[in-house]
Amino acid sequence: MTEREALPSGGKAAYITEEVRRRIIEKEWRQGERIPDEAELAAEFGVARATVNKALQMLAEEGLLDRRRRAGTRVAVNPVRKASFSIPIVREQVEAAGMSYSHRLISQSRSPLPERHAARLGLPAGEVLIHQRAVHYGDRRPFQLEDRWINPRAVPGIETVDFHHMNANEWLVRNAPYLRAELNFSACSAGVRDARLLETKPEQALLILNRTTWNDSGPITTVRLAFHPGYVMTATT
């Protein structure tokens, strides 16, 4: 008990969280139903209202409860649980899989932004951005192919980076915190260039992730990642 009591009411709030979760899972409180208010729960559990509030807030963040001022707290009908998708440093991913990492910058240029990216990025087509193609390797086999646009206006200092030595993925993760990201998952048949760079055959099914990040100066980068055939991306709640 000593350790639990050392946490400011953490033990009690955790107990209430578990108990409320149990009541929802076992259908004592059903989806859509209003649950007792904080004062009632505080009396039932013999704790301060703030402790109940903390516990319910955790469950609301998990998506099990819907909390509305005035309307009270209800069991969520369709719990939105948040799955973790960090933006990984690919080098670390490859090394964590026990492979040796390498990287090849295929091309880099300052190029006018194509129409197809302009609307999503909220930038005018034709604006000059940094355009790169690169391959990440694990044990010299292609792991992931990237086709990336970087907005230098959102990332001061990027124009002086030598991307032959530090790849853009790792540089951006370490140096350009983002406020917002959008991820789009799809599948496509490898075109001739994808197949050549991934050292696979054309028409092979590939998992594609288009990812765009923003900070308060605008879009940072948009990247199309094509993974080697057979790659599985996992997220857990």
Question: Exactly one of 46, 68, 78, 160 binds a copy of itself (CB under 8 A); which one?
Answer: 78
Q: Which two tokens stand for residue 169?
A: 């993925």
9 touching a copy of itself, by CB under 8 A: no
**Distance from C-alpha of 66 to C-alpha of 75, rounded to nearest angstrom:** 6
202 touching a copy of itself, by CB under 8 A: no
Shortest CB 102 distance to a copy of itself, Å: 21
DSSP characters over 126-161: T-EEEEEEEEEEETTEEEEEEEEEE-GGGSTTGGG-
- 218-227/205-215 β-pairing: antiparallel
Q: Sign of the C-alpha dihedral, residues 62, 64, 67, 72?
A: negative
Question: Exactly one of 31, 100, 107, 109 binds a copy of itself (CB under 8 A); which one?
Answer: 31
Show the site string, 170-199: x = touches a copy of itself by CB under 8 A, - = not. ---xxx-xxxxxxxxxxxxx----------
34 touching a copy of itself, by CB under 8 A: no
**Distance from C-alpha of 101 to C-alpha of 140, rounded to nearest angstrom:** 8
CB nearer to a copy of itself: pick between 109 and 217:
217
Q: Is 124 strand, coil or helix? A: coil
**Distance from C-alpha of 54 to C-alpha of 63, rounded to nearest angstrom:** 14
Contact 24, 75 (CB under 8 A): yes
205 touching a copy of itself, by CB under 8 A: yes
Of 34-42, 61-69, 106-114, 121-129: span binding a copy of itself (CB under 8 A): 61-69
**Burial (Cβ within 10 Å: 0-12, 13-18, ≥19) of residue 220:** buried
19 touching a copy of itself, by CB under 8 A: no
204 touching a copy of itself, by CB under 8 A: yes
CB nearer to a copy of itself: pick between 1 and 187:
187
80 touching a copy of itself, by CB under 8 A: yes
Shortest CB 55 distance to a copy of itself, Å: 14
The owner of tokens 């915190």 is 177
72 touching a copy of itself, by CB under 8 A: no
141 touching a copy of itself, by CB under 8 A: no
Q: Is 32 strand, coil or helix? A: coil
Question: Exactly one of 14, 21, 36, 67 binds a copy of itself (CB under 8 A); which one?
Answer: 21
Q: Where do contacts with a copy of itself occur on this chain (CB under 8 A)?
A: 21-22, 24-25, 31, 61, 63-64, 75-89, 173-175, 177-189, 203-208, 215-216, 227, 229-237
